[in-house]
Structure formats: structure tokens, C-alpha cells
Structure 1
Amino acid sequence: MLITTLVGPGPRAVWDREPLGPLVERERELGVLGELARRTAAGHPGFAVIQGPDGIGKTALLHSHAADSRSLGLRVLETRAVGQPHPLGTVGALWKAMTSDVDSPPPSWRPMPADALRSRETLRGLLADWHEAVRAAAVRGPLLITVDDAHEADPESLRFLAHTTRGPAESPVLLVLARRIGSEWTALDEVMAQPPWLVVRPRPLTRSGIGRVARQLTGADGDARFQEDCLAATNGNPLLVTGLVTALREHGLALTGTSLDSASDHDLPAFRVRVARLLHRQPVLTIQTARAMAVLDGGADNEVCARLARADTTTFVRSQHALDCLGLVRSSPGADAWSFTHLAVRNAVLADMSAEHRAAMHGRAARLLYDSGAPAAQIAEHLLRSGVAADQPWARAVLREAARKETLQGSVSHAVRLLRPCAPEGAEDTWDPALVAELGIAESTVDTAASIRHLTSVWDRVSRPDLRLAALGALVGGLTRTGQVGRAVALLHQHRSATSGLGQVTASAQLLEAQLLMAATDNRDAYTELLRTAPLGLDLSGHTPGERALLAWRAVISVARMDRVPESLRAADTVLRRGTPTTDSPTSMATAASALMYADRPHEAEYVYRQLIDGTDTMFDQAYASLLALSAEAYERLGALDQALRSSAKALRKTRTARYTRHDALPLAVRLHVFLDQGDLAAATALASEIPDAGIDDAWQWNELLCARGRLRLARNEPEAALRDLVECGRRQRAWQRTNPAVSFWWYWAGQAHLSMGDRIAAVELGEWAVDLARPAGFLSTLGTGLELLAEAGCERDRPVLLEEAETVLTQTRAALVLARVRVARGRALQQAGHTEAARAVLRQGWEDTYALGARSLHATAHQSLVAAGARPRRAGSRRAGALTRSEQQVARLAAEGRSNAEIAESLFVTRRTVEAHLTSVYRKLGLSGRRELRGAMADRGKGITPARQETW
């Protein structure tokens, strides 16, 4: 197809064996050639060469010029040099055409053997005959002779064409040749440098030219960014432009910059074919250069890349310049580096190679990079793509080094990919046991079945103590997660018996037991069986990391079950007091902090999470996202909505939409809750629509997401659907033995759903259940929330009293949003009871608190209630986070000086309970976790430093 595209200040065409279309941006070139044709029509000779890289449109320009010449009355003889391997084959084809219809023919063309052409006399005679044939043809009228792909003509024909200018003077003959730039053509080059030869160089397409090509092919020009990026991706080569636009059209993609960005994610046959066509017309070394660059993808210097292409550096650089002329690569400004113009070009070059050839080149690239001292990760990628087992010591060493680094950075899946070539399936017995153990440990969180298989095969042969212990931990965890609790416990007992009496190893047994408890949380049946048989003693001293890890897991399990809560909290405090991020794993410390959060102490838990997140190495730990999610939940419970959104967004940063797993459930639930707390129903609905029901399995991590989704449906006036989600959440919590009402507040929202459906009895039952458990345990936030539910579900007469008790309880906590909600509810209850003045005071406080917290929906409710109570509220801007009242400032200043609560109460003539309430409010407003941070915060305030404005997320 011959698709012509106008490019640059001149036209451009692409020879693709289809009917010729209108040229694009070739007006200048056609004008020059047209002037030559008009001179020939007037009886003067002319000689021109169209030269440029492949794909620039030489053939299309030649054909368009021939069509224009016919309209001027010129007879046209056309030939293509390709396929003329015999001596004088190209000239012979033209000779036959010229003499076929001449009345007095000159000597006709007679093929001659190559030996005969070696005679100078014979060549001189043939040249004279050629000139006579041209003259005789011109006698009948002006003549245009075109030769396409002249650089592929045989040497003898090139000499004859070069001497055409020395033929009969003033014959009306126009000779136009098309040649590839950079091709060897000595015979013509010598002549072309002299008049009367004219050289025409088609220019690349411009942005507007690309738009015109796009309009011809699709009917649309494409946006400005598409034209700019397409120009950068093709260097204005019309063949590539046409292929790229056609490929986007075939995939139904709009001609936009965004579509072009995503083009590399698709297989683009139309574009791939054109890139391959350009390459296959180049010298072998140029093809090898393109393939070497595609395999290395900018990951090596020119010397290594040249060696991969099996070329010397000088030849390699020359080939890169040739690829640049084609529009396939470009050089970086100011640097001796080359890259493909677009990832789709590299993909096309790779696709043009067979799988075997690609794998072999990746294998060679790995060795060349290894010899040049490249980083292990870079070498490892080529080893993986070579598709062969790492049977060489250097290759195994590289893969293991890269895998260890990936593990430290939390990319365990990639570490497994790196290690598996070191131990092919079925050959584990022939490899180093330590290597197979490393593979099994890495697989423990990626492919549990493979991990168990590999670790079982080599565990008895691993001699290094630290690796043996790590392998045992991974094996015990894998067995537990797959429900094989008996085998896991037996291995644990075996290890304990073999190391009895050795204190250091006894601690390792405790650490293994902690890992067993952690692994059981991934399998409900295993979890249930383990809790039925395993001891959950809380009397360990916590002197070793193993003891602290075991204490942390036992404590959080006991708190979740409402079992021995005071002892569990003491155990969690012991873990956090004696452990540090440098001696203990972040997981065990975060687990202890979760026990505090489940005991209605989210401010203490948040402080621990923040300390762990701020750890220098935590960014690369697998627990990092979990810590962010837990921190987000603590912030949400404290009413710090902006901070909750920021932390949950960071936790989900590496997760793609619609690929959420159980590990993403908590931050998703937090975001749903916060959107609803803020009154942003649209954002909550949009987020919920991204979570497929099919992805919610039996794991406990999804429980809170069901609660949040039920709350969303309640906000959308779908109480029946909401109740289904909330009741299911409660059922799953009980199945996982998470019967503490402070673990999840599903029961509160289920009570609200019952109230929406008119079932007060069910709501009262849920409220009484929560209050009966929370009051003796001292879970104040849960108690206040339960009293709020009872007040709404009970009789109207008791409502103010219950809400007053709830407010009193909640003022002792940091649950700012729940406290604000209760205040608004109490104000409305007082108004309904006829206590207007008291209602105004309470509502105004709730109105200001909800504004400071950003709870827009609740703030609107408070505003309406204030107006209904006869108040005229103005802008609620005076009490934002960080703005302390005079009493709070006095209490905070004395506390920062080191005074105890009793001393502060005595000096200010107030009760200790008042001091505690003021300090709680100070901590919440300033975003502090306790007295340890208060001194610095008050010092900053004394210097006029105000808290930074919170970012809206």
C-alpha cells in the first residue's frame, strides 16, 4: 500500500503496497521536481536524486511526481531496482521498455554474461548503445525515467545511470532516482556532487502533518499532546506515524496523549510490522544493534551493548545513528546515551525476535553485565528472562544476592522469582540445602504449598542455626495456615524437646509459638483448633524478644475474646515498655499496640504505630502497609479524620483498583468510615463500588469492611441491606472469637439499622450487650457509644439522662468524634424535653467540635438543631484543632512543667477529674499522645509556633 503523509516543510510518503493517497507536507519537494518536469517538457534534460532514510516517503514522492509528469505530457518509464541481481539488470529493464515502441529502434538490449562485461571495449560499446536508446526514446517526446530503490541496483547499472548526464546534449529526458541515505553508492555519489544533478531530501513530518495523517486514517486530528508525543515517538517518520495511528485505531483508542502513553501495554501489530519492515531493510549490524539495545533497554554502556551486538564500538555507534535517522532511537541531550523513541518501538523490536533468540541474548547480556561489574539486580533480570536454570555458581550467587535485597525491601514475590531458577522442580536434592531453604522461606507468604514442600525436603540438612530456625518458623507458619495444626505443633514440640535446657533456644521456641499464633489468624479452622488446645498464659517476664512476641499475641487474642483483660493489658504494656524497634519485630510491637486499641486506648496505640512507622528500616518492611492501616484506624477512632485519610491512602498506594486483597481491607474500611464521618456520601459510594463482592473471603480482615459497607448502605437509606452486612460482620466476629465490642462497632450501626426499621427491642439488646461488657472492663469509648444507642432506642424520658452519662464517660477519652456526636444528640434531647437554654449550650459545643473535626454532615445537623432551638450561630471558626481555652492552657502549662494531676488540681482549685478532662482535650487538639510530647508542644506555642495546617486529603 502506498500511504502518503505530509511531513515537515515537505511531503512524505510510505510505500506499503496500497493505492496512493494524497501526500502530506510534500508541497516543497513536489514543487522542485515539478519545475524539472516543466523544463523537460520544454525540451531540456534534468537529473535528480530523492534520498532519505527508509520510511520517509521516497517511493510515494516518486509516484506522485510521475503522475504529475504525465499530466504535463511526459512519457514515464518506471522500474524498481529490487529483484535485478544480474549485471546491467536495472538498465536492461529500462532499455527494453524504451526500444519496444520506437519506429527506428537503436540496438536492442541483449543480456551478456558477467565475463563479457569485464572487457572495457564491450562496456564502452554498451554504454554508447544505451545513450542511443535514450536519445531515440526522447525523439518521440519528453521522457521521465524513474528508478526506485536505486541503491540496490547492480554496480554496472549504477555506472550507466551515472553516465547518463554525459549522453546526447539537450535531449528532453528527466532521470529521477530514489535512494536510501547512508547506502554505499560510490559510482553515483561522484557524479551527484556535480551539476546538473539535484538532490531532494524529504523532511520528517511536523506536528500538523501528523494531525493530517491521523485525519486521513481516522477522521480525527488527535489532540495537541498526541501530535507532540507521536512526533517524539517516531521522529516524524511517516511509516511509523501511519503504523502508530493505525494501531491505535485498531485497538479502539482515541488519538490522545493518554492513549499513546498506554500504547506500550498493547500488542500493536500494525506498528510492529512497520518497525520490522524498517529493520529488515537495514544492514545486519544495524539490526543487531537495535536488538542489543532492546534487550539491554538502556541498562548498560555502549561498550557492553556493542559487545552484545557483536560489533566494535565505532561500528555500533554508526548503527545507532542509522537507527536515529529511521526514527527508532534518539540520543539523550548532552550525554553519550541512546534510547528508543517509545516503549512500543522497543516492544516491536523484541517481538521481531524469536523466543529462543531473545532468551539467548538475555543470557549473554547477563554474563557481559556480570563481567563489567553491574549491580546484581540488573544482572538477575536478564538471567530470569533467559529462561534457563542457574547452573553456574556466578549466576546462583547473583540471583541470591538480588533476592536478599528484594526481601529486605518487602518484594517477596520478586525474591521468589529470583530464587526459583536456582532450584528447579524435582532437583532440590542436588542443590545446596541452604539455597532451597532460602527459597522456601521466601515462598512462605507467596506460595504456601511450595514453601512447605521445599522446607520439608531440606530442613534436616540445613546446618546453619539461624537459617534452620527461620526455616522452621516458615514451615510451622505454612502448616498452620493450611490447617495442618497438628504437624505444626508437633514440630514445635520437637524443637522444644531438642533444645530443652538451652535458654537461648528456649527463647527461639517461644518466638516460634508466636509465629504459630500469627499464622493461625489466616485460617479460621486452624485458629479455632489452636485456641482450644494451646495455652495462653500471660505470666511471662518479657525479658527476651521471643517472650515479648508470645506475650503480644496472647494479649491481643485475650483482649479480643474479653478474656482476662487486665492481665492482657499488663502484658501488652510489658511488651511495649521493654521492647524496642531495634530488638523486636515491628509485627509483635504492633500486635501489642492493637491490644491497647481493642481496649479503648487508641491514643496509646497510635503513638506506638507512629514510632514504628518512623523507624528507619520500617519503610522496607512487609509490615509497613499494615502499620499504616492500623495507624489510620487509630486516627479514625480518635476523630483525626484528615490523618486517617492520609495514612489509609499511603497503605493502599501500591494496590491497584479491583485487585484488593484481605491485607487492604482495613485501610479500605477506614476510608469508608471517614468519608461517612465527613458526610461525603459520593466518595464513599465510589470507593465501595471498586470492591468486588467476590474478593471478600472468610478472612477476619474483611469483617470491618462489611461493617463500613453496612454503614454506607444505612446512610443511603437502605436499612435492610445495611443490616445484612452488619449482622454478617457480627457473625464473622463471633466465629473468629472477636467478641469484644471495642474490636468493632458493628453492633452500634446494626442497632441504628434496627431503629430505622422500627425494631427498638433489637437495638436495645445490642446496646445492653455492649454496655454490660464495656462497663466492668473500663472500655469508656465503647461504654459511651453503648449508652448513646440505649438512649436512642429507649423511652424519650430516659434519653437525656443516658446521654448525659455517655457524655461524662466520653470526656475522659480521646474519642473526639463520638463525644461530639453524643453532645449533638444530647442537645436535641434536651430541646425536645423543653430545656431550651441547656440545649443551646450543649448544641453549640457540639456544633463547634464537629466543625473543628471536619464532620460536615454532623455539623449540619447540629446547625439545624441550634436554629430550631432559637440560636443564631455564626461562623464556627474560633475553635479549630490546636486552639486551647484559657483553662486548658493553664492545665497544659502546669503539666508541661512536670506537675502531677493532683498538684495541678490543688493549685487551680479544681478536681482531679477536671484536670484529666482538660488534659484529654489538650492532647486531642494538639495531636499529642501524652505528657512526653506536651513540654515540646507548649514550648513551641510559647515561641509563637502554631501547628501546621492539616492537609486536606
Structure 2
Amino acid sequence: MASETVGSVLRGRRRETGTLDELLREVRAGHSRVLVLRGEAGIGKSALLDHLAAGAGTARVVRTVGVEPESEIAYSALQHLCAPLLDHLDRLPEPQRDTLATAFGLGPGEPPEALLVGLAVLGLFAEAAAERPLVCLVDDLQWVDRMSQVILTFVARRLEAESVALVFALRSPGDEEVLPGLPELRVAGLPADDAMALLDTVLPGPVDGHVRERILAETHGNPLALLELPRGLTPAELAFGFGAPSPTPVVDRVEAGFQRRLAALPADTRVLLLAAAVEPVGDVPLLWRALDRLGVGPDAAAPAEAAGLVRIGTRVRFHHPLVRSACWRSADPAELRAVHRALAEVTDPGQDPDRHAWHRAHAALGPDNDVAAELERTADRALARGGRSAAAAFLERAAELTKDPKPRAARVLAAARARFASGALDAVPALLSAAELGPLDPLQRAGAERLRAQVAFALDRGRGAVTPLLEAARRLAELDPGAARETYLWALGAAMHAGRLGDGDLRRAAEAARGMPPGHDAAGLFLTGLTERVLAGYADAVPHLRRALSALPDGEAALLWLSAPVAHELWDDGAWHRLTEQALGTARATGARSLLPTALTFRAGALVAEGRFAEASALLGEAGSVAPGPSHPSAALTLAAHQGAEEAATRLIGATVREAEARGEGRWLGLAGYAGAVLHNGLGRYPAALAAARSAVAHDDLALTGWTLGELVEAAARTGDEAAAGEARERLTERTTAAGTCWALGAQALADALAGPADAAEDRYREAVELLGGTRLTVLAARARLLYGEWLRRENRRGDARDHLRAAHEVFARAGAEGFAGRSARELAATGETVRKRGAVAADALTAQEAQIARLAVAGRTNPEIGAELFLSPRTVEWHLRKVFGKLGITSRRELAGALRDR
């Protein structure tokens, strides 16, 4: 690595080392810290990691480095990082212990999901840090295998109070999408004076000042470039800097310099360095055994060590990763195959079958069925450990080495499935096209069509997905009716998401799906129900959709994207609550990273309706940390609208509209209209609410239309637009009568009270309050009491009005529905009652996560159980509970329930 030190001090790195020293102080004080070092190759990131390790003192240091040839071996970097900590494995709860053992190939088990592996690693770090602070260093993250990256990113977002430092180093530019949102330190070139001093240590003699300045400008203060580029040049050769200005990046020029130095070494030394570069673990005994097969003796190491390219002790360590890459990039293909062959011969297939197979694969010159079969077995092991990306790489190489077209096509198809499961969706279509060039039997071809449809639906749930999904479904109809029905369901789902932007896609999809024989599982029943809704109308769809909800297995999470909106559509708050709660439980228990963000989002939406805004906000925050980036906006919009923070809600609504138009997801436009109607009704801005509601109901979006019609009735009634209110009320009646639930009938009673016969208004208000009060929909029930209270005040029945307005205000204020709370407060003031401003209670200072942990503790969960549910370490849970106790002024769990109740 580049040496920019003077004694034990890094030259020109006062800012960087100060940051690292402060990080160590925080970790010694009991906190956890994460830091990402970003900078170009040779800029000194590894030297900074060395500084951190040297200053760790009594803290335990574990370290791993990404190696490019190793990047397809699942969990390889993570296992190397965790290996020194495995003596703490027995302290983990049994599910986490088993998960980690399976992931690392230490024992059998079900293929682990990434989130469960992440929780187990988090627990392992916490247990190790319980003895003394732990410093985990990960260098060259850009070459770390995919699964290790996923797990370490997850852990980094969950560390809080474990006395763990997790520090990554990776190359810039080009790495901005890796570890987004984590604290980072950009490592730039050395300051001019320090760069000049470092350059002077390697210049062969006096060099003109202007030339030295030109060298500094060309290297941008990169320490490795300053040390390596002048190497071997005479003063005369340096008279004009490094020669003519070059467009080649400095890093490439440094690597080229290493290649020239390699070329000058003896042949045996080059073979030794190539073998060390290809053998990623740095296992010296294994390296010597491989070199013995190649006829290279230990003496060959001396020239490489004398040249400062490598250091061989208990481990092999290259001067810089660029030396490693220069070794194998400059190698002759025949030499590289020979090295892989030797490494395969000395790697124990029983102890390390994956690397044995990988070396054999790279040693093969042409098709080799035996090696291909071994790679396929290796892929199976990777899948069993949850390494889907690694399995795909093994299968792709196995296909390359397979001569017979039929098994080759089968392996390419299996690789496509593994790529899809790993989330690498963009790679799937090309693999499917390659598989279809070979002879596939009808079932395999149907599987390929189904996978192509899955990719289309996953990549684009808007208007662009409908046509390819329908084409795939038609081709599947005779080969696999079950898969065809599922694909038609995805097509309908895509058309529903496209909504008003779909240009007739929904009807076209429904007409195509109607020709399929009905299915009796949940997916088949949903398909029938949605088809009937589009082609026959709401009332005809209700029985089918009810049966579909009933047919869902407990905890079903994969269909939540559809089942939750259908529960809305049927006005079934019990099903909505049950489905979202169970699906979230399933997603948490299985650690299904693909399902958890959706489950968190839909559960948050249900909690908003129940008036549990703090919990909903915590779940949305968790969803963002599990899957950073754009997510389904439903719950976030609904929460913002009900909270009544106009500026934030308006900004979110505008962003949703722009995203909807860009993605072709018209359903989101309906959602934005609904949110706008709720926001403005809460703030008492009824013309704006009416305009937003009208825009939303211009298209019949699943679930959204029924909700928004109620908002439209209220806004129209308050603006005096009797025609609009009456029309919306009639449209609502068609739905609520067929649904027949307390929620539906309560919503209808409220609409009747607002827009129906005046002499029946009071009876209908009372009916709405009673019916909605029997549901879980706390916010809607409170709105019914608000509307009834407003009506009573206008009837000059102030005493009666106060009772309902006071009850509504309490619900809104407690939940955090500031818009509706303000509206109810104004109405109360109009009755002559003074509304006391809600005091700042200690419990109000709880963060969303603290409140969530406190509620779980009240429910009797232990710290490990709470940690497992929220993907936190038990020590972090304990830390949060101590903060909760302090804020509530209590000292134990026994007092917690009462303190929360008293808030």
C-alpha cells in the first residue's frame, strides 16, 4: 500500500485521522459508528484503515478485503471477517445461530434469507463487543461478494449501541450507489506541500521546480502515483515530468507501471505472484503446495519481496491491490489456466468445494462435462446458503463448459432463475434468450415464459408491463394453466397500476383473462374477482374477491400488493388489519428482503387508519432503511395527509405526481388526489379538497375510489355544491350496499347525513358514529363525530356538540392529526369551550422507534425477542429502553405500561 507516513503519523491526513480517532473514542464510550471511506485507487484509504487498526488499543480488530477473483463466492468476505468471532456463536439465539451456520456452510439448514443472516451477524458483533470494543474493517468493498455486501450494509444501518466500529473503504468514482446514505469521508489527494515532500523521497535527483509542479498536477496528490510513477526513471527522463500529457487515468498508469515491473522479474517469480494473486485468501501453505505443482520453489519469492511488491509471512499481502490486479491482468491465458489447475489440485474438495470447483472451471480450456457438473453442485450449495448471485455465476460458467445443448440450456435457465432471485433483473432477459436457443421441453419453455413475465412485472408495474405480460400469459395458457392465471393476474395488476395512463389496458387485460378456466386458489379467485370488477361491475366482483381473501393462507405476504387493496375495496377493516399484521410477521420471521418493505408499507397504512401514527412512521422509516430508494408511496402519503403538515404533504404529493407520470403508474395519481382531498378537508379548505377528490375519482382505481368518494361528498357539501355531493353519494351507495360491512355502511350513513334528506341527517350521523365506532378505523370514527358535532353546533345545540367535538379532538390530538385537531378545536371554540393547548408530556419526546420498543416491552417481549422483530441487537434494545425510562421518569419495565397509558 502507498506509504505516506512520517514515523507513525500519516502525512497530510490530519483531517482524516482526526475523524478516525474521534470514531474510536465514540466506540470506546459504548456507541457504534459506521464510516465509508471513498476515494480513487492509491489515494490512501488502506493506509487510513491501518492507522485505525494501529490506534485501536485494547479494542478487537477484525479485517477483510475484497478480492476481484473471489467476488462470486457467496459470503466469502463476510465469513473471513466473522471467523475470529465465531467463538461467540453459541451466545446467539438458536435461530440466528443456525442461520449463520447454514450461510457459512458450517451446518445444514433451510436456505437463509439475507435479513436473518444480517440479524445473526449483528448479534455476533454485539456479543463480541460485549467483552471489548470491536473494530471491523472492510477494504476494497467494490470487490466484496454480493451477499457479503448486502449483509454488511444491513448491519451498518442497524448498529447503534454495541461498541462496534464498521469502516468500509471503496473506490470512487463509480461507487456512489454502494452504501448510500451512510456517514462517509471523501479521501482526496494530499495537500500540495505534503505531496511535494512525498515526491522528493522518491525522485532520483534534483528536478526542476516547474517539472515537480507538473508531476503534482498530473497525480492530483495521489500518494501511490507519487511513489510509483517516478520509479525507475532517471533525472533526464524526468526532465519533462512523466513525458507528454496523457489522457490515461493516473490509476491505469500506475497499474501499467506495476506490469512493467512484473515483466522485469524472473519467470518463476512472476508465476509465484500470479498464483498469489489468484489465491484470494492468502493461505501460504496452500500457495506453496500449488507452486510445487508448478515447479516453482520458495526462492522465487525473494525478487518480488525485494521489489516491494509483496510480503509473505503468515499471510500473503500485496503492496497494493493494483499489484494483484496487474499480476492476473498481464498473465498469459495458458499460464493463468495452469495456476488455476494447480490451485484446484491442492484445494481440498471436501473442505472447500466451492473454490475447488471455481479453480477447475477457470482451468478448463474447453467444454468439460465433469467440471460443469461440479459447478452445478456448487451452485446448489450456494443456493442452500442463500447465495443466489453466486449460484447464478456458477451456473453460467457451468453452461459455458457444457457441450450438450439440452443440459446447457437447462443450466442457463437455472442461472436466469438465480439471477432473478438475487435481484439482478436486468441480466435475466439475455439469459432467457440464450436458454431458448437450446432445446427446451414444453415445461421448461413455460417456465422461461413465466420468468420473463415475472421480470416484466417486477421491473415495470405500469403501462409498459401490460403487453409483454399478456403475451406471456397467452403462450402459457396451454402449457401451464396455473402459471398462465398467475401471469394474467400480474397483467391485471400492471394495468391497475397504470390506471388512467393505461390507454384501455385494464379492459384489454380483463377480456384476455376471462377466457382462462377459473382457478380455486387465492390467485385464481383474485383473477376472477378482478376480471368481474372490470367487465361486470363492483357488485358482481364482491363475492369472488371475498372468497379470494378467505383462501389466502395465514401470513401470506407475496400477494399483499393485491390483497391489502382488495380488503380496502371490500371495506373490510378486519381483513385489512389481519392481512397486514400477519404478512409483516411472516416477512420478519423469514427475513424475506424482497417482501419486508412492502409488508412494512402496507402495515403502516393500516396503522394510520387506526390512529397509530407514531407506529406507522416507525415502520416507514424501517422500510426506508431495509430498501433505500423509491418505495410505494401509499402509506407515506396517507400519513402526511392525515398529519396535516401542509408544506411537507404538498411536497410529497407533488413528488408522487411527477413520479407517477414518469413511471406510467396512473394509480399513484389517484392516490395523490385522495391524499390532497384528505389534507385539505382536514385544514378546512374545501374547494381545494373538492378539486383534488374530483381528479382522483375521474378513474375507478381499486380501493381508492370508494375512499375518495367519501372525501368528495364532504368537500362538496361544505362548498355548497349539492349536485356534486349528491352524485358522489349515489356512486358510493353502489359500493357500500354490495359490501355491507360496518365500515361501508358507516361511510354511507355519513355521506347520507351530509348530502341526503335534511330531516334524516341526525339519524344518519348517529348511525355513522355507532357503526364506525365498532371498527378499527379510529380516525374515520373521529371524523364522523367531528362532522356530527359541527352539524349540532349549526343547529345551536352547543352542549351536545361539545361532547362529540371534544371526543374527536382528543383522538386527533393524540394521534397527531394536526389538521383535523385544529378544525375540531375551532369548532369547540365556537361552542364557547376553551381548548387547552396540549402540554409537552415526557412521553411525547419518545422517538418512533423508542415508542415501538416500549410497546413491545409492555407486551412482554424480551430484549432478544424485540431485537429479532425489529432487526436490532439486544444491546441496542436495552439502550433504547434506558432512554425511554429516562424520558418517562421510571426505572423498570413494571412501570412502563402505566407511564405510557398516562401520557
TM bucket, shorter chain: 0.5 to 0.7
Counterpart pick for 2:705 among 741, 766, 777: 741
| Cα deviation 1:20-42 (Å, max 9, x = unaligned) | xxxxxxxxxxxxxxxxxxxxxxx
The answer as to 2:795 corresponding to 1:823 is: no
* C-alpha contact 1:723 1:750 (8 A) present in aligned 2: yes
User: Partner letter of residue 528 of structure 1?
Assistant: R
- Share of identical aligned residues, percent? 17
The answer as to 2:609 corresponding to 1:637 is: yes
Question: Corresponding residue for 1:811?
Answer: 773
> 1:369, 1:237 → 2: CA distance?
46
Q: Bigger relative contact order, structure 1 or 2, given CA contacts below 8 A and separation 6+?
A: 2
> 1:721, 1:268 → 2: CA distance?
59
> 2:725, 2:404 → 1: CA distance?
60
**Distance verdict in 2 for CA 1:680–1:511, change over 3 Å:** same
* C-alpha contact 2:643 2:816 (8 A) present in aligned 1: yes
**Distance verdict in 2 for CA 1:683–1:842, change over 3 Å:** same
* C-alpha contact 2:284 2:312 (8 A) present in aligned 1: no
> 2:660, 2:365 → 1: CA distance?
37
Q: After superposition, where does 1:631-670 map in structure 2 within 5 Å?
A: 631-657=603-629, 660=630, 664-665=631-632, 668-670=633-635
Counterpart pick for 1:529 among 508, 517, 521: 508
Question: Corresponding residue for 2:441?
Answer: 461
| Cα deviation 1:901-943 (Å, max 9, x = unaligned) | xxxxxxxxxxxxxxxxxxxxxxxxxxxxxxxxxxxxxxxxx99
* C-alpha contact 1:685 1:712 (8 A) present in aligned 2: no
> 1:293, 1:739 → 2: CA distance?
61
The answer as to 2:831 corresponding to 1:832 is: no
The answer as to 2:639 corresponding to 1:674 is: yes
> 2:365, 2:797 → 1: CA distance?
82
SS at match of 2:494: coil
> 1:813, 1:607 → 2: CA distance?
13
* C-alpha contact 1:791 1:800 (8 A) present in aligned 2: yes
Q: After superposition, where does 1:606-617 map in structure 2 within 5 Å?
A: 606-615=577-586
Q: After superposition, where does 1:35-46 map in structure 2 within 5 Å?
A: none
Q: After superposition, where does 1:103-122 map in structure 2 within 5 Å?
A: none
SS at match of 1:521: helix
Instruction: Give the TM-score normalised by structure 2.
Output: 0.52
| Cα deviation 1:767-806 (Å, max 9, x = unaligned) | 4322442134225435545665676678999876654443
Q: After superposition, where does 1:441-480 map in structure 2 within 5 Å?
A: 441=417, 446=426, 450=430, 453=433, 456-457=436-437, 460-461=440-441, 470-471=447-448, 473-474=450-451
**Distance verdict in 2 for CA 1:688–1:796, change over 3 Å:** same
The answer as to 2:283 corresponding to 1:301 is: yes
Question: Corresponding residue for 1:564?
Answer: 540
Question: Corresponding residue for 1:549?
Answer: 523
Whose Rg is larger? 1
**Distance verdict in 2 for CA 1:675–1:588, change over 3 Å:** closer
> 1:879, 1:603 → 2: CA distance?
33
User: Partner letter of residue 614 of structure 1?
Assistant: G
> 1:224, 1:747 → 2: CA distance?
48
Counterpart pick for 1:438 among 405, 411, 414: 414
> 1:442, 1:863 → 2: CA distance?
57
**1:856 to partner: Cα distance:** 3.2
Instruction: Give the TM-score normalised by structure 1.
Output: 0.50
* C-alpha contact 2:693 2:709 (8 A) present in aligned 1: yes
* C-alpha contact 1:329 1:338 (8 A) present in aligned 2: yes
**1:670 to partner: Cα distance:** 1.2
Question: Corresponding residue for 1:483?
Answer: 467
* C-alpha contact 1:618 1:624 (8 A) present in aligned 2: no
> 2:323, 2:189 → 1: CA distance?
20
**Distance verdict in 2 for CA 1:486–1:375, change over 3 Å:** same
> 1:625, 1:824 → 2: CA distance?
34
**Distance verdict in 2 for CA 1:459–1:721, change over 3 Å:** farther
Counterpart pick for 1:845 among 779, 801, 807: 807
| Cα deviation 1:866-916 (Å, max 9, x = unaligned) | 3443334454899999xxxxxxxxxxxxxxxxxxxxxxxxxxxxxxxxxxx
* C-alpha contact 1:308 1:361 (8 A) present in aligned 2: no
**Distance verdict in 2 for CA 1:12–1:493, change over 3 Å:** closer
SS at match of 1:870: coil
> Which 5+ residue runs of structure 2 have no aligned equivalent?
14-41, 45-182, 203-212, 223-246, 458-464, 496-501, 845-892
> 1:790, 1:852 → 2: CA distance?
29
The answer as to 2:663 corresponding to 1:697 is: yes
User: Partner letter of residue 705 of structure 2?
Assistant: P
**Distance verdict in 2 for CA 1:690–1:796, change over 3 Å:** same
> 2:775, 2:281 → 1: CA distance?
56
Question: Corresponding residue for 2:573?
Answer: 602
**1:613 to partner: Cα distance:** 3.6
Q: After superposition, where does 1:240-639 map in structure 2 within 5 Å?
A: 269=249, 284=265, 299=281, 301-303=283-285, 346=321, 348-349=322-323, 357=331, 368=343, 371-373=347-349, 391-393=367-369, 396-397=372-373, 400=376, 419-423=395-399, 429=405, 431-439=407-415, 441=417, 446=426, 450=430, 453=433, 456-457=436-437, 460-461=440-441, 470-471=447-448, 473-474=450-451, 483=467, 488=472, 491-495=475-479, 509-510=481-482, 512-523=484-495, 528-535=507-514, 542=520, 547-555=521-529, 558=532, 562-576=538-552, 579=553, 586-587=557-558, 591-592=562-563, 594-615=565-586, 618-620=590-592, 622-639=594-611
Question: Corresponding residue for 2:19?
Answer: none
> 1:229, 1:827 → 2: CA distance?
68
Deviates more, 1:788-797 or 1:691-700: 788-797
> 1:11, 1:293 → 2: CA distance?
29
Question: Corresponding residue for 2:875?
Answer: none
> 1:602, 1:566 → 2: CA distance?
15
Q: After superposition, where does 1:732-771 map in structure 2 within 5 Å?
A: 732-733=699-700, 738=702, 741-742=705-706, 745-748=707-710, 761-771=723-733
**Distance verdict in 2 for CA 1:399–1:596, change over 3 Å:** farther
**Distance verdict in 2 for CA 1:722–1:831, change over 3 Å:** closer
**1:836 to partner: Cα distance:** 1.6
SS at match of 2:538: coil
**1:490 to partner: Cα distance:** 5.6
> Which 5+ residue runs of structure 1 have no aligned equivalent?
15-53, 57-222, 252-266, 496-507, 882-941
SS at match of 1:587: coil
**Distance verdict in 2 for CA 1:767–1:470, change over 3 Å:** same
User: Partner letter of residue 591 of structure 2?
Assistant: M
**Distance verdict in 2 for CA 1:645–1:574, change over 3 Å:** same
**Distance verdict in 2 for CA 1:227–1:753, change over 3 Å:** same
**1:289 to partner: Cα distance:** 8.2
> 1:683, 1:330 → 2: CA distance?
59
**1:677 to partner: Cα distance:** 2.0
Name the Cα RMSD after superposition.
6.3
> 1:645, 1:725 → 2: CA distance?
24
**1:575 to partner: Cα distance:** 0.8
**1:842 to partner: Cα distance:** 1.1
User: Partner letter of residue 7 of structure 1?
Assistant: V
**1:321 to partner: Cα distance:** 8.2
User: Partner letter of residue 543 of structure 2?
Assistant: E
| Cα deviation 1:400-438 (Å, max 9, x = unaligned) | 567667778998788666644555799994653422332
| Cα deviation 1:47-88 (Å, max 9, x = unaligned) | xxxxxxx999xxxxxxxxxxxxxxxxxxxxxxxxxxxxxxxx
> 1:877, 1:428 → 2: CA distance?
74
Deviates more, 1:639-648 or 1:272-281: 272-281
